Chains A and B, each alone.
Chain A
Amino acid sequence: MSDEKKLTLKRIVIFTVLCFIPNYILEIAFSDHRGGLTSAAAAQTVMLYPAIANILTRLITKEGKGEHYLKASLKKHKGIYLAAAAGPLAAGIINLFAMHFLYDPNTDMAGLLDKNTGGKGLGLMLGVILLTYLQDIPLLILGFGEEFGWRAYLTPKLEKLMPRLPACCITGIIWGLWHAPLIWYGYDFGRGYAGFPYVGIIAMCVVCMPLSYVLTWMTEKTKSVIPAAVCHTVIDSVMNLPAAAMISSEALEKHSLWVGITMMGLVPTAAAVCLLLTGFGRKKAEA
Protein backbone atom coordinates (compact mmCIF):
# COMPACT_ATOMS: atom_id res chain seq x y z
CA MET A 1 0.00 0.00 0.00
CA SER A 2 1.41 3.38 -1.01
CA ASP A 3 2.06 6.09 1.57
CA GLU A 4 -0.73 8.22 0.14
CA LYS A 5 -3.24 5.41 0.51
CA LYS A 6 -2.06 4.77 4.08
CA LEU A 7 -2.52 8.45 4.91
CA THR A 8 -6.01 8.45 3.37
CA LEU A 9 -6.91 5.37 5.39
CA LYS A 10 -5.58 7.03 8.54
CA ARG A 11 -7.72 10.10 7.84
CA ILE A 12 -10.80 7.93 7.31
CA VAL A 13 -10.22 6.14 10.61
CA ILE A 14 -9.66 9.39 12.55
CA PHE A 15 -12.77 10.95 10.97
CA THR A 16 -14.92 7.92 11.76
CA VAL A 17 -13.74 7.74 15.37
CA LEU A 18 -14.35 11.47 15.86
CA CYS A 19 -17.85 11.08 14.41
CA PHE A 20 -18.80 8.07 16.47
CA ILE A 21 -17.42 8.90 19.93
CA PRO A 22 -19.51 11.98 20.83
CA ASN A 23 -22.57 10.54 19.09
CA TYR A 24 -22.43 7.18 20.89
CA ILE A 25 -21.66 8.79 24.27
CA LEU A 26 -24.60 11.22 24.03
CA GLU A 27 -27.06 8.73 22.56
CA ILE A 28 -26.26 6.08 25.17
CA ALA A 29 -25.94 8.43 28.15
CA PHE A 30 -29.13 10.36 27.39
CA SER A 31 -31.22 7.57 25.87
CA ASP A 32 -34.83 7.44 27.00
CA HIS A 33 -34.80 3.70 26.05
CA ARG A 34 -37.62 4.32 23.56
CA GLY A 35 -35.52 5.59 20.65
CA GLY A 36 -35.34 9.21 21.78
CA LEU A 37 -33.08 11.30 23.98
CA THR A 38 -33.85 12.68 27.42
CA SER A 39 -31.61 15.68 26.78
CA ALA A 40 -33.04 18.19 24.31
CA ALA A 41 -29.66 19.93 24.07
CA ALA A 42 -27.89 16.68 23.14
CA ALA A 43 -30.54 16.01 20.49
CA GLN A 44 -29.85 19.44 19.00
CA THR A 45 -26.15 18.74 18.53
CA VAL A 46 -25.87 15.13 17.32
CA MET A 47 -26.22 16.04 13.65
CA LEU A 48 -23.29 18.46 13.88
CA TYR A 49 -20.58 15.96 14.85
CA PRO A 50 -19.76 14.76 11.30
CA ALA A 51 -19.05 18.38 10.29
CA ILE A 52 -16.96 18.92 13.41
CA ALA A 53 -15.13 15.63 12.70
CA ASN A 54 -14.38 16.84 9.15
CA ILE A 55 -12.78 20.04 10.47
CA LEU A 56 -10.93 18.30 13.32
CA THR A 57 -9.54 15.56 11.05
CA ARG A 58 -8.22 18.16 8.65
CA LEU A 59 -6.55 19.96 11.56
CA ILE A 60 -5.15 16.81 13.21
CA THR A 61 -3.73 15.36 9.99
CA LYS A 62 -2.61 18.81 8.75
CA GLU A 63 -4.59 18.28 5.56
CA GLY A 64 -5.70 21.87 5.03
CA LYS A 65 -9.02 22.79 3.48
CA GLY A 66 -8.42 20.90 0.18
CA GLU A 67 -11.62 20.08 -1.71
CA HIS A 68 -14.15 21.55 0.73
CA TYR A 69 -17.36 21.34 -1.36
CA LEU A 70 -18.61 24.66 0.01
CA LYS A 71 -19.08 26.55 -3.27
CA ALA A 72 -22.79 26.89 -3.91
CA SER A 73 -22.92 27.27 -7.77
CA LEU A 74 -26.63 27.92 -7.43
CA LYS A 75 -27.18 29.46 -10.86
CA LYS A 76 -25.31 26.76 -12.74
CA HIS A 77 -27.06 23.87 -11.01
CA LYS A 78 -30.46 25.29 -10.08
CA GLY A 79 -32.16 22.13 -11.42
CA ILE A 80 -30.32 20.00 -8.87
CA TYR A 81 -31.12 22.43 -6.06
CA LEU A 82 -34.77 22.31 -7.06
CA ALA A 83 -34.66 18.51 -7.15
CA ALA A 84 -32.95 18.48 -3.73
CA ALA A 85 -35.75 20.59 -2.26
CA ALA A 86 -38.76 19.10 -4.08
CA GLY A 87 -37.51 15.50 -4.37
CA PRO A 88 -38.16 14.51 -0.74
CA LEU A 89 -41.77 15.75 -0.94
CA ALA A 90 -42.32 13.78 -4.17
CA ALA A 91 -40.70 10.78 -2.43
CA GLY A 92 -43.03 11.31 0.55
CA ILE A 93 -46.08 11.20 -1.73
CA ILE A 94 -44.82 8.05 -3.51
CA ASN A 95 -44.11 6.48 -0.09
CA LEU A 96 -47.62 7.37 1.04
CA PHE A 97 -49.25 5.48 -1.83
CA ALA A 98 -46.81 2.57 -1.61
CA MET A 99 -47.43 2.20 2.13
CA HIS A 100 -51.18 2.55 1.71
CA PHE A 101 -51.32 -0.32 -0.78
CA LEU A 102 -48.77 -2.48 1.05
CA TYR A 103 -49.63 -2.04 4.72
CA ASP A 104 -52.84 -0.07 5.12
CA PRO A 105 -55.20 -0.78 2.16
CA ASN A 106 -58.41 -0.65 4.16
CA THR A 107 -57.99 2.83 5.62
CA ASP A 108 -59.81 5.76 4.06
CA MET A 109 -56.91 8.19 3.53
CA ALA A 110 -59.14 11.26 3.09
CA GLY A 111 -61.09 10.41 6.24
CA LEU A 112 -57.89 9.91 8.24
CA LEU A 113 -56.47 13.19 6.95
CA ASP A 114 -59.66 14.97 8.02
CA LYS A 115 -59.47 13.34 11.45
CA ASN A 116 -55.76 14.16 11.93
CA THR A 117 -56.19 17.77 10.86
CA GLY A 118 -59.31 18.42 12.92
CA GLY A 119 -61.58 18.50 9.88
CA LYS A 120 -59.44 21.01 7.96
CA GLY A 121 -58.13 18.45 5.49
CA LEU A 122 -55.79 19.18 2.61
CA GLY A 123 -55.79 22.96 3.18
CA LEU A 124 -54.08 22.63 6.54
CA MET A 125 -51.80 19.89 5.24
CA LEU A 126 -50.57 22.13 2.41
CA GLY A 127 -50.06 25.00 4.85
CA VAL A 128 -48.02 22.79 7.19
CA ILE A 129 -45.86 21.50 4.31
CA LEU A 130 -45.17 25.01 3.00
CA LEU A 131 -44.45 26.33 6.49
CA THR A 132 -42.12 23.41 7.21
CA TYR A 133 -40.21 24.18 4.01
CA LEU A 134 -39.75 27.80 5.09
CA GLN A 135 -38.86 26.81 8.63
CA ASP A 136 -36.13 24.59 7.20
CA ILE A 137 -34.12 27.66 6.15
CA PRO A 138 -32.72 28.33 9.64
CA LEU A 139 -32.52 24.57 10.28
CA LEU A 140 -30.31 23.92 7.25
CA ILE A 141 -27.38 23.97 9.65
CA LEU A 142 -28.45 20.50 10.88
CA GLY A 143 -28.55 18.88 7.43
CA PHE A 144 -25.28 20.61 6.63
CA GLY A 145 -23.76 19.20 9.82
CA GLU A 146 -24.15 15.62 8.61
CA GLU A 147 -23.54 16.16 4.90
CA PHE A 148 -20.36 18.16 5.42
CA GLY A 149 -18.99 15.08 7.15
CA TRP A 150 -20.33 12.18 5.08
CA ARG A 151 -20.50 13.61 1.56
CA ALA A 152 -17.82 16.29 1.71
CA TYR A 153 -15.22 14.22 3.55
CA LEU A 154 -15.80 10.50 3.98
CA THR A 155 -17.01 9.55 0.48
CA PRO A 156 -14.33 11.56 -1.40
CA LYS A 157 -11.67 9.98 0.83
CA LEU A 158 -13.07 6.47 0.20
CA GLU A 159 -13.14 7.23 -3.52
CA LYS A 160 -9.36 7.56 -3.38
CA LEU A 161 -9.19 3.91 -2.37
CA MET A 162 -11.99 2.36 -4.42
CA PRO A 163 -14.55 3.12 -7.18
CA ARG A 164 -17.54 5.31 -6.41
CA LEU A 165 -20.16 2.58 -5.96
CA PRO A 166 -18.39 0.67 -3.15
CA ALA A 167 -17.30 4.01 -1.65
CA CYS A 168 -20.96 5.08 -1.40
CA CYS A 169 -21.92 1.65 0.00
CA ILE A 170 -19.25 1.85 2.73
CA THR A 171 -20.31 5.43 3.54
CA GLY A 172 -23.87 4.10 3.82
CA ILE A 173 -22.80 1.34 6.21
CA ILE A 174 -20.79 3.75 8.40
CA TRP A 175 -23.68 6.22 8.30
CA GLY A 176 -26.13 3.47 9.29
CA LEU A 177 -23.93 2.26 12.14
CA TRP A 178 -23.60 5.86 13.32
CA HIS A 179 -27.38 5.73 14.02
CA ALA A 180 -27.08 2.38 15.84
CA PRO A 181 -27.55 3.55 19.47
CA LEU A 182 -30.88 5.16 18.59
CA ILE A 183 -32.10 2.20 16.54
CA TRP A 184 -31.02 -0.12 19.37
CA TYR A 185 -33.79 1.50 21.43
CA GLY A 186 -36.40 1.68 18.68
CA TYR A 187 -35.73 4.83 16.62
CA ASP A 188 -36.95 4.80 12.99
CA PHE A 189 -38.00 1.11 12.96
CA GLY A 190 -39.82 0.72 16.28
CA ARG A 191 -39.31 -2.29 18.56
CA GLY A 192 -41.92 -4.85 17.61
CA TYR A 193 -40.16 -6.59 14.70
CA ALA A 194 -38.43 -9.96 14.56
CA GLY A 195 -34.72 -9.74 15.22
CA PHE A 196 -34.98 -6.43 17.12
CA PRO A 197 -32.65 -4.50 17.33
CA TYR A 198 -30.00 -6.17 15.10
CA VAL A 199 -32.24 -6.40 12.03
CA GLY A 200 -33.09 -2.70 12.45
CA ILE A 201 -29.41 -1.73 12.50
CA ILE A 202 -28.72 -3.85 9.40
CA ALA A 203 -31.80 -2.34 7.70
CA MET A 204 -30.52 1.16 8.47
CA CYS A 205 -27.14 0.35 6.89
CA VAL A 206 -28.90 -1.07 3.83
CA VAL A 207 -31.23 1.92 3.29
CA CYS A 208 -28.40 4.37 3.86
CA MET A 209 -26.47 2.93 0.88
CA PRO A 210 -28.78 4.11 -1.96
CA LEU A 211 -29.47 7.36 -0.12
CA SER A 212 -25.74 7.93 0.22
CA TYR A 213 -25.39 7.24 -3.50
CA VAL A 214 -28.04 9.80 -4.47
CA LEU A 215 -26.66 12.47 -2.12
CA THR A 216 -23.14 11.81 -3.45
CA TRP A 217 -24.47 12.30 -6.98
CA MET A 218 -25.83 15.73 -5.97
CA THR A 219 -22.57 16.64 -4.28
CA GLU A 220 -20.33 15.52 -7.13
CA LYS A 221 -22.50 16.99 -9.86
CA THR A 222 -22.48 20.44 -8.24
CA LYS A 223 -19.11 20.09 -6.47
CA SER A 224 -21.03 21.44 -3.48
CA VAL A 225 -22.39 19.85 -0.34
CA ILE A 226 -25.22 22.40 -0.08
CA PRO A 227 -27.80 20.59 -2.29
CA ALA A 228 -27.21 17.43 -0.24
CA ALA A 229 -27.67 19.47 2.95
CA VAL A 230 -30.93 20.91 1.59
CA CYS A 231 -32.13 17.44 0.60
CA HIS A 232 -31.19 15.93 3.98
CA THR A 233 -32.96 18.70 5.93
CA VAL A 234 -36.11 18.34 3.82
CA ILE A 235 -36.00 14.53 4.14
CA ASP A 236 -35.93 14.90 7.93
CA SER A 237 -38.72 17.46 8.11
CA VAL A 238 -41.09 17.20 5.13
CA MET A 239 -40.81 13.70 3.65
CA ASN A 240 -42.72 11.88 6.38
CA LEU A 241 -45.56 14.42 6.70
CA PRO A 242 -47.94 12.88 4.09
CA ALA A 243 -47.58 9.37 5.56
CA ALA A 244 -47.90 10.61 9.13
CA ALA A 245 -51.21 12.28 8.24
CA MET A 246 -52.74 9.59 6.04
CA ILE A 247 -51.49 6.19 7.24
CA SER A 248 -53.12 4.78 10.35
CA SER A 249 -50.98 4.58 13.48
CA GLU A 250 -51.91 0.88 13.83
CA ALA A 251 -50.38 0.10 10.41
CA LEU A 252 -47.31 2.20 11.18
CA GLU A 253 -46.82 0.31 14.45
CA LYS A 254 -47.61 -3.17 13.11
CA HIS A 255 -45.24 -2.92 10.12
CA SER A 256 -42.72 -0.57 11.75
CA LEU A 257 -39.61 -2.20 10.24
CA TRP A 258 -40.98 -2.30 6.68
CA VAL A 259 -42.50 1.15 7.03
CA GLY A 260 -39.04 2.48 7.96
CA ILE A 261 -37.39 0.63 5.08
CA THR A 262 -40.02 1.86 2.59
CA MET A 263 -39.87 5.44 3.84
CA MET A 264 -36.09 5.74 3.64
CA GLY A 265 -35.23 3.21 0.97
CA LEU A 266 -37.87 2.98 -1.75
CA VAL A 267 -37.32 6.17 -3.75
CA PRO A 268 -33.54 6.46 -3.13
CA THR A 269 -33.11 2.87 -4.38
CA ALA A 270 -35.06 3.64 -7.56
CA ALA A 271 -33.09 6.88 -8.03
CA ALA A 272 -29.77 5.09 -7.37
CA VAL A 273 -30.59 2.40 -9.97
CA CYS A 274 -31.38 5.13 -12.53
CA LEU A 275 -28.11 6.89 -11.75
CA LEU A 276 -26.19 3.63 -12.00
CA LEU A 277 -27.72 2.99 -15.42
CA THR A 278 -26.53 6.43 -16.52
CA GLY A 279 -23.00 5.47 -15.51
CA PHE A 280 -22.50 7.71 -12.47
CA GLY A 281 -21.03 4.93 -10.35
CA ARG A 282 -18.36 3.85 -12.80
CA LYS A 283 -15.77 6.36 -11.65
CA LYS A 284 -12.49 4.60 -10.93
CA ALA A 285 -10.51 5.00 -7.73
CA GLU A 286 -8.18 8.00 -7.93
CA ALA A 287 -5.10 6.64 -6.23
Chain B
Amino acid sequence: MLGYIYSNFKSCKGTFFALMGVLFFANCFIFVPYFAGSEVYTAAKSSEGSSFLFMMCIFTVALSFYVGGIVQEGLLAADERKKWAYFVVSTEDGIKKQVGSKYILMLLYSVTISFVCIFMNALTADILGEDVPPTSGLILLLFFVQLLIRAINAPFIFAFSSKYGNTVRLAALLIVSAIALVYGLFGDLSIINMDTMWKKLFKAIEKLSESETAIWAQTAFFGVVIVLYFLSYKLSCKFYLKGAEHYDK
Protein backbone atom coordinates (compact mmCIF):
# COMPACT_ATOMS: atom_id res chain seq x y z
CA MET B 1 0.00 0.00 0.00
CA LEU B 2 2.80 2.41 0.94
CA GLY B 3 4.24 1.97 -2.57
CA TYR B 4 0.91 2.96 -4.15
CA ILE B 5 0.62 5.97 -1.86
CA TYR B 6 4.16 6.99 -2.79
CA SER B 7 3.46 6.48 -6.50
CA ASN B 8 0.22 8.48 -6.35
CA PHE B 9 1.85 11.23 -4.34
CA LYS B 10 4.79 11.37 -6.73
CA SER B 11 2.53 11.72 -9.74
CA CYS B 12 0.59 14.51 -7.99
CA LYS B 13 3.35 16.18 -6.01
CA GLY B 14 3.27 19.25 -8.27
CA THR B 15 -0.40 19.82 -7.49
CA PHE B 16 0.23 19.11 -3.79
CA PHE B 17 2.90 21.80 -3.53
CA ALA B 18 0.71 24.11 -5.63
CA LEU B 19 -2.07 23.41 -3.11
CA MET B 20 0.21 24.37 -0.24
CA GLY B 21 1.14 27.60 -2.02
CA VAL B 22 -2.49 28.40 -2.80
CA LEU B 23 -3.51 27.68 0.80
CA PHE B 24 -0.93 30.09 2.18
CA PHE B 25 -1.84 32.66 -0.46
CA ALA B 26 -5.58 32.25 0.18
CA ASN B 27 -5.11 32.61 3.93
CA CYS B 28 -3.02 35.74 3.42
CA PHE B 29 -6.11 37.42 1.94
CA ILE B 30 -6.96 38.37 5.51
CA PHE B 31 -4.08 40.85 5.44
CA VAL B 32 -5.27 42.73 2.36
CA PRO B 33 -7.54 45.16 4.24
CA TYR B 34 -4.89 45.38 6.97
CA PHE B 35 -2.09 46.47 4.66
CA ALA B 36 -4.52 48.72 2.82
CA GLY B 37 -4.90 50.56 6.13
CA SER B 38 -8.58 49.74 6.46
CA GLU B 39 -10.11 51.19 9.60
CA VAL B 40 -11.86 47.96 10.54
CA TYR B 41 -8.42 46.51 11.30
CA THR B 42 -6.86 49.56 12.85
CA ALA B 43 -9.82 49.45 15.21
CA ALA B 44 -9.27 45.72 15.62
CA LYS B 45 -9.57 45.84 19.39
CA SER B 46 -13.21 46.86 19.05
CA SER B 47 -15.85 44.17 18.73
CA GLU B 48 -16.49 45.32 15.15
CA GLY B 49 -12.82 44.76 14.27
CA SER B 50 -12.89 41.31 15.85
CA SER B 51 -16.03 40.43 13.92
CA PHE B 52 -14.37 41.55 10.71
CA LEU B 53 -11.34 39.35 11.41
CA PHE B 54 -13.67 36.46 12.23
CA MET B 55 -15.57 37.04 8.98
CA MET B 56 -12.33 37.13 6.96
CA CYS B 57 -11.14 33.93 8.63
CA ILE B 58 -14.42 32.18 7.77
CA PHE B 59 -14.04 33.36 4.18
CA THR B 60 -10.44 32.13 3.83
CA VAL B 61 -11.21 28.80 5.50
CA ALA B 62 -14.10 28.19 3.09
CA LEU B 63 -11.88 29.23 0.17
CA SER B 64 -9.09 26.88 1.31
CA PHE B 65 -11.40 23.89 1.52
CA TYR B 66 -12.91 24.72 -1.86
CA VAL B 67 -9.47 24.89 -3.53
CA GLY B 68 -8.36 21.77 -1.65
CA GLY B 69 -11.42 19.92 -2.95
CA ILE B 70 -10.46 20.72 -6.54
CA VAL B 71 -6.94 19.37 -5.95
CA GLN B 72 -8.36 16.21 -4.34
CA GLU B 73 -10.42 15.58 -7.45
CA GLY B 74 -7.28 15.95 -9.56
CA LEU B 75 -5.75 13.21 -7.43
CA LEU B 76 -8.63 10.88 -8.28
CA ALA B 77 -8.29 11.57 -11.98
CA ALA B 78 -4.52 11.04 -12.10
CA ASP B 79 -3.13 7.89 -13.79
CA GLU B 80 -6.36 7.07 -15.62
CA ARG B 81 -4.66 4.82 -18.16
CA LYS B 82 -5.81 1.37 -19.25
CA LYS B 83 -2.25 -0.01 -19.14
CA TRP B 84 -1.80 1.04 -15.49
CA ALA B 85 -5.29 -0.11 -14.51
CA TYR B 86 -4.73 -3.60 -15.97
CA PHE B 87 -1.33 -3.82 -14.27
CA VAL B 88 -3.00 -2.88 -10.96
CA VAL B 89 -5.67 -5.54 -11.45
CA SER B 90 -3.03 -8.20 -12.20
CA THR B 91 -1.26 -7.68 -8.85
CA GLU B 92 -2.37 -9.23 -5.57
CA ASP B 93 -4.96 -6.99 -3.89
CA GLY B 94 -4.00 -4.40 -6.52
CA ILE B 95 -7.44 -2.76 -6.77
CA LYS B 96 -7.78 -2.46 -3.00
CA LYS B 97 -4.30 -0.94 -2.72
CA GLN B 98 -4.73 1.45 -5.66
CA VAL B 99 -8.16 2.69 -4.54
CA GLY B 100 -7.18 2.65 -0.86
CA SER B 101 -4.08 4.74 -1.53
CA LYS B 102 -6.25 7.39 -3.23
CA TYR B 103 -8.63 7.46 -0.26
CA ILE B 104 -5.71 7.74 2.19
CA LEU B 105 -4.14 10.55 0.17
CA MET B 106 -7.45 12.42 0.00
CA LEU B 107 -7.67 12.12 3.77
CA LEU B 108 -4.09 13.38 4.15
CA TYR B 109 -4.85 16.33 1.86
CA SER B 110 -7.85 17.23 4.06
CA VAL B 111 -5.68 16.93 7.19
CA THR B 112 -3.11 19.23 5.58
CA ILE B 113 -5.77 21.78 4.62
CA SER B 114 -7.17 21.75 8.17
CA PHE B 115 -3.73 22.19 9.71
CA VAL B 116 -2.75 25.03 7.37
CA CYS B 117 -6.06 26.80 8.07
CA ILE B 118 -5.67 26.46 11.86
CA PHE B 119 -2.03 27.60 11.66
CA MET B 120 -2.69 30.53 9.33
CA ASN B 121 -5.63 31.77 11.40
CA ALA B 122 -3.39 31.64 14.47
CA LEU B 123 -0.55 33.42 12.65
CA THR B 124 -2.89 36.11 11.39
CA ALA B 125 -4.28 36.71 14.85
CA ASP B 126 -0.71 36.89 16.23
CA ILE B 127 0.37 39.45 13.64
CA LEU B 128 -2.75 41.56 14.18
CA GLY B 129 -2.41 41.26 17.97
CA GLU B 130 -5.89 39.77 18.24
CA ASP B 131 -7.31 36.67 19.94
CA VAL B 132 -7.57 33.74 17.53
CA PRO B 133 -11.12 33.71 16.13
CA PRO B 134 -12.98 30.53 17.16
CA THR B 135 -12.83 28.97 13.70
CA SER B 136 -11.41 25.58 14.75
CA GLY B 137 -14.96 24.18 15.11
CA LEU B 138 -15.78 25.36 11.60
CA ILE B 139 -12.52 23.91 10.21
CA LEU B 140 -13.27 20.51 11.75
CA LEU B 141 -16.81 20.65 10.40
CA LEU B 142 -15.56 21.51 6.90
CA PHE B 143 -12.96 18.74 7.15
CA PHE B 144 -15.74 16.19 7.58
CA VAL B 145 -17.98 17.89 4.99
CA GLN B 146 -15.12 17.63 2.51
CA LEU B 147 -14.71 13.93 3.30
CA LEU B 148 -18.47 13.47 2.84
CA ILE B 149 -18.36 15.14 -0.58
CA ARG B 150 -15.41 12.95 -1.61
CA ALA B 151 -17.20 9.86 -0.28
CA ILE B 152 -20.13 10.64 -2.58
CA ASN B 153 -18.01 11.86 -5.47
CA ALA B 154 -15.26 9.24 -5.66
CA PRO B 155 -17.34 6.15 -6.57
CA PHE B 156 -18.79 8.08 -9.52
CA ILE B 157 -15.30 8.91 -10.78
CA PHE B 158 -14.07 5.35 -10.25
CA ALA B 159 -17.15 3.87 -11.92
CA PHE B 160 -17.34 6.16 -14.96
CA SER B 161 -13.78 7.67 -15.08
CA SER B 162 -13.27 11.37 -14.37
CA LYS B 163 -14.68 12.41 -17.75
CA TYR B 164 -18.06 10.69 -17.39
CA GLY B 165 -18.10 10.84 -13.60
CA ASN B 166 -17.92 14.61 -13.67
CA THR B 167 -20.81 14.71 -16.17
CA VAL B 168 -22.95 12.57 -13.87
CA ARG B 169 -22.01 14.80 -10.92
CA LEU B 170 -22.74 17.95 -12.93
CA ALA B 171 -26.17 16.57 -13.75
CA ALA B 172 -26.84 15.96 -10.04
CA LEU B 173 -25.59 19.47 -9.22
CA LEU B 174 -27.88 20.96 -11.89
CA ILE B 175 -30.88 19.21 -10.36
CA VAL B 176 -30.00 20.61 -6.90
CA SER B 177 -29.44 24.10 -8.41
CA ALA B 178 -32.79 23.91 -10.19
CA ILE B 179 -34.55 23.02 -6.93
CA ALA B 180 -32.75 25.92 -5.19
CA LEU B 181 -33.76 28.28 -8.02
CA VAL B 182 -37.41 27.24 -7.81
CA TYR B 183 -37.31 27.74 -4.04
CA GLY B 184 -35.62 31.11 -4.55
CA LEU B 185 -38.39 32.23 -6.88
CA PHE B 186 -41.40 30.93 -5.00
CA GLY B 187 -40.25 29.98 -1.47
CA ASP B 188 -40.01 31.91 1.78
CA LEU B 189 -36.78 33.95 1.74
CA SER B 190 -37.30 35.76 5.04
CA ILE B 191 -34.77 33.43 6.70
CA ILE B 192 -32.00 35.01 4.60
CA ASN B 193 -31.45 38.36 6.25
CA MET B 194 -28.05 39.83 5.40
CA ASP B 195 -28.18 42.17 8.43
CA THR B 196 -28.38 39.33 10.91
CA MET B 197 -26.88 36.48 8.86
CA TRP B 198 -23.26 37.04 9.93
CA LYS B 199 -24.19 37.48 13.57
CA LYS B 200 -26.20 34.25 13.44
CA LEU B 201 -23.28 32.49 11.74
CA PHE B 202 -20.77 33.70 14.37
CA LYS B 203 -23.09 32.56 17.14
CA ALA B 204 -23.64 29.17 15.52
CA ILE B 205 -19.88 28.61 15.10
CA GLU B 206 -19.18 29.62 18.71
CA LYS B 207 -21.99 27.35 19.91
CA LEU B 208 -20.49 24.28 18.19
CA SER B 209 -18.56 23.30 21.29
CA GLU B 210 -21.00 24.64 23.90
CA SER B 211 -24.48 23.29 23.29
CA GLU B 212 -25.16 19.63 24.10
CA THR B 213 -27.34 19.22 21.02
CA ALA B 214 -24.59 20.63 18.79
CA ILE B 215 -22.03 18.29 20.34
CA TRP B 216 -24.17 15.19 19.79
CA ALA B 217 -25.20 16.34 16.31
CA GLN B 218 -21.53 16.80 15.34
CA THR B 219 -20.58 13.45 16.85
CA ALA B 220 -23.33 11.69 14.90
CA PHE B 221 -22.46 13.55 11.70
CA PHE B 222 -18.71 12.88 11.94
CA GLY B 223 -19.37 9.23 12.76
CA VAL B 224 -21.70 8.84 9.76
CA VAL B 225 -19.11 10.51 7.51
CA ILE B 226 -16.42 8.03 8.57
CA VAL B 227 -18.73 5.07 7.90
CA LEU B 228 -19.73 6.56 4.52
CA TYR B 229 -16.10 7.17 3.60
CA PHE B 230 -15.31 3.52 4.29
CA LEU B 231 -18.38 2.31 2.34
CA SER B 232 -17.42 4.64 -0.50
CA TYR B 233 -13.98 2.97 -0.62
CA LYS B 234 -15.60 -0.46 -0.79
CA LEU B 235 -17.92 0.72 -3.58
CA SER B 236 -15.03 2.28 -5.51
CA CYS B 237 -13.08 -0.99 -5.31
CA LYS B 238 -16.09 -2.74 -6.81
CA PHE B 239 -16.41 -0.26 -9.67
CA TYR B 240 -12.70 0.22 -10.44
CA LEU B 241 -12.50 -2.28 -13.28
CA LYS B 242 -15.73 -1.00 -14.83
CA GLY B 243 -14.35 2.55 -14.83
CA ALA B 244 -11.06 1.39 -16.34
CA GLU B 245 -12.95 0.52 -19.52
CA HIS B 246 -13.50 4.24 -20.07
CA TYR B 247 -9.82 5.16 -19.66
CA ASP B 248 -7.53 6.20 -22.52
CA LYS B 249 -4.85 3.72 -23.59
Which residues does A use to contact B, with CB under 8 Å?
A: 39-45, 70-72, 120, 123-124, 127-128, 130-131, 134-135, 137-138, 140-141
Contact = CB atoms under 8 A, between A and B. Distances in A.
Nearest to A144: B111
B222 A134 contact: yes
B115 A141 contact: yes
Nearest to B139: A138
A134 B126 contact: no
10 contacts: A39-B122, A39-B126, A44-B119, A44-B122, A71-B1, A123-B212, A127-B219, A128-B215, A131-B222, A137-B226
A130 B126 contact: no
Given A39-B126, A44-B118, A138 B110 contact: yes
A40 B212 contact: no
A127 to B, nearest CB: 4
Given A127-B219, A128-B215, A138 B111 contact: yes
Nearest to B123: A41
Contact of A71 (B2, B111, B125, B144): B2
Contacts of A72: 1-2
A127 B217 CA distance: 9
Given A127-B212, A130-B219, A45 B119 contact: yes
A47 to B, nearest CB: 11
Contacts of A134: 144, 218-219, 222-223, 226
B138 interface: no
Contacts of B111: 137-138, 140-141
Nearest to A142: B115
Nearest to B124: A41
Of A44, A70, A72, A124, chain B has the most CB atoms within 10 Å of the CB of A44
B132 interface: yes
A40 B119 CA distance: 8
Interface of B: 1-2, 110-112, 114-115, 118-119, 122-123, 125-126, 132, 139-140, 143-144, 212, 215-216, 218-219, 222-223, 226
B114 A138 contact: yes
A131 B119 contact: no
Contacts of B110: 138
Contacts of B122: 39-41, 43-44
A41 B212 contact: no
A129 B115 CA distance: 21
A130 B218 CA distance: 10
B215 A124 contact: yes
Nearest to B208: A131
Contacts of A137: 111, 143, 226
A144 to B, nearest CB: 9
A42 to B, nearest CB: 8
Nearest to A73: B1
A32 B140 CA distance: 27
Given A138-B143, A141-B111, A70 B2 contact: yes
Contacts of B143: 137-138
B144 to A, nearest CB: 8
Contacts of A140: 111
Contacts of B219: 127, 130-131, 134
Contacts of B118: 44
Contacts of B216: 127
Contacts of A131: 215, 218-219, 222
Contacts of B123: 40-41
Contacts of A135: 140, 222
A138 B110 CA distance: 8
A141 B116 CA distance: 11
B200 to A, nearest CB: 22
Nearest to A72: B1
Nearest to B218: A131
Given A41-B126, A71-B2, A138-B111, A124 B119 contact: no
Given A71-B2, A138-B140, A138-B143, 13 more contacts: A39-B126, A40-B123, A41-B123, A44-B118, A127-B212, A127-B219, A131-B215, A131-B218, A131-B219, A134-B222, A134-B226, A137-B143, A141-B112
Contacts of B125: 40
Contacts of A130: 219, 223
Nearest to B140: A135
Contacts of B139: 138
Contacts of A70: 2
B28 to A, nearest CB: 13
A120 B212 contact: yes
A134 B123 CA distance: 25
A70 B1 CA distance: 11
A135 B144 CA distance: 9
